[in-house]
Copies of this chain bind each other. A is one copy, B any other.
Amino acid sequence: MTSEPFVGLLMFIASRDVETRVVAAMRRAGIDDITLAQARVAARIGPHGTRLTDLAEQAQVTKQTATAIVDRLEHAGYVERVPDPTDGRARLVRLTGKAEALLPIARAEERRIEQEWERHLGPRRMRELRDALTLLREITDPYRDDA
């Protein structure tokens, strides 16, 4: 009579595993001055920069938290703040070259994980998983856009 585990919990377990592994890959590559929360925010920065308020919204934290995280990222040299030409109040947060150099490391680990998953699930189930999650995003992510 034990009901099946809640799907949300299963997802949490898997995504936590992913985060842990990507962070570990960074550490192995010698990058140890960037935290998970910082990476989450940085991952939302678009190619031409993103406003702090937008980052806060997308990462689901308050503006104050986003400010603090961007402060640290800036201090570590991973992002810079430039004035927004279209709005005198606003500033755009942009990735620096130092940050962009890190992307391949993260991407490589992600690919490795996906390959392992595909090996474990088989191609058909992997395909189904991807489809279902993509569809689900429509109702769980209010800020989707492909940057």
Enumerate chain A interface residues (CB-CB to B < 8 A): 2, 4-20, 22, 43, 60, 110, 113-114, 116-117, 120-121, 125-126, 128-141, 146
Contact = CB atoms under 8 A, between A and B. Distances in A.
A120 B136 contact: yes
Contact of A125 (B2, B22, B113, B135): B135
B129 A7 contact: yes
Contacts of A18: 8, 11-12, 140
A135 B121 CA distance: 7
Nearest to A147: B2
A129 B130 contact: no
Q: At the interface, is chain A mostly helix, strand, loop or mixed?
A: helix
Query: Which of A6, A22, A134 has the most chain B CB atoms inside 10 A of its CB?
Result: A6
A2 B60 CA distance: 25
B138 A120 contact: yes
Contact of A140 (B17, B110, B126, B129): B17
Q: Choose among A2, A116, A134, A136 the residue with the greatest number of B CB atoms under 10 Å from its CB.
A: A136
A15 B7 CA distance: 9
Contacts of A137: 10, 13-14
A110 B10 CA distance: 12
Contacts of A136: 10, 14, 117, 120-121, 129
Given A7-B114, A136-B117, A146 B2 contact: yes
